[in-house]
Amino acid sequence: MKIHFLGTAAAEGFPALFCRCPHCAKARKSGGRNIRTRSSAIIDDVLKIDFPPDTLHHVLRDGLDLGLVQDLFVTHTHMDHLRAEELEMRLPVFAHGLDHPLHVYGNDAVVRKCRDAVGRPGDEHIVIRRIVPFETIDTGTFIVTALPANHDPDETCLLFFIEKDGKTVFYGHDTGLLPEDTWAWLEQRKLDLAILDCTNGNLPFTGSHLNIEAVLDIRNRLGNQAVLRPGGQVVATHFSHNIGLLHDDLTAIFEKEGIMVAYDGMVLHI
What local confidence, expressed as pLDDT, does residue 164 receive? 98
Q: How far apart are CA 162 and CA 189, in angstroms?
A: 11
pLDDT band of 14, cuts 50, 70, 90: very high
pLDDT over 90 at 158, yes or no: yes
pLDDT band of 220, cuts 50, 70, 90: very high
pLDDT band of 205, cuts 50, 70, 90: confident
Q: How far apart are CA 25 and CA 228, in angstroms?
A: 38
User: Which residues are registered as beta bridge partners of 102?
Assistant: 126
228-237, strands of its sheet edge to edge: 136-138, 143-148, 158-164, 167-172, 191-197, 228-237, 260-261
- The number of CA neighbours under 13 Å toward the Cβ of 55 is 24
Q: Residue 112 CA to chain centroid, in angstroms?
A: 20
Please list, residue by residue across 170-183, b when 16 or more beta carbons sit within 10 angstroms of its beta carbon and e when fewer do. bbbbbbbebbeebb
> Which positions ≥6 away from 233 have C-beta within 8 Å?
192, 193, 194, 260, 268, 270
Helix H or strand E encompassing 269: strand 267-269
pLDDT over 90 at 121, yes or no: no
Angle at 72 between CA 68 and CA 74, to 5 degrees: 155
Query: Which residue segment(s) compose the domain that 126 sits in?
Result: 2-269
What local confidence, expressed as pLDDT, does residue 145 receive? 99
Q: How far apart are CA 65 and CA 108, in angstroms?
A: 28
Residue 254 sits in a domain of what CATH number? 3.60.15.10
Quick one: average pLDDT of 94-114?
97
Quick one: average pLDDT of 191-216?
95
What is the DSSP track for 136-204? EEE-SS-EEEEEE-SS-TTS--EEEEEEETTEEEEEE-S-SSPPHHHHHHHTTS-EEEEEEE-TTTTSP
What local confidence, expressed as pLDDT, does residue 63 receive? 98
Helix H or strand E encompassing 60: helix 55-62
pLDDT band of 206, cuts 50, 70, 90: confident
Could you report how far apart the first and last alpha carbons of the chain are, in Å?
A: 5
Looking at the 3D structure of the chain, how many domains does it have?
1
pLDDT over 90 at 92, yes or no: yes
- The CA distances from residue 45 to 5, 33, 42, 230, in Å, are 11, 22, 6, 27
Give the total residue count for the chain. Answer: 270
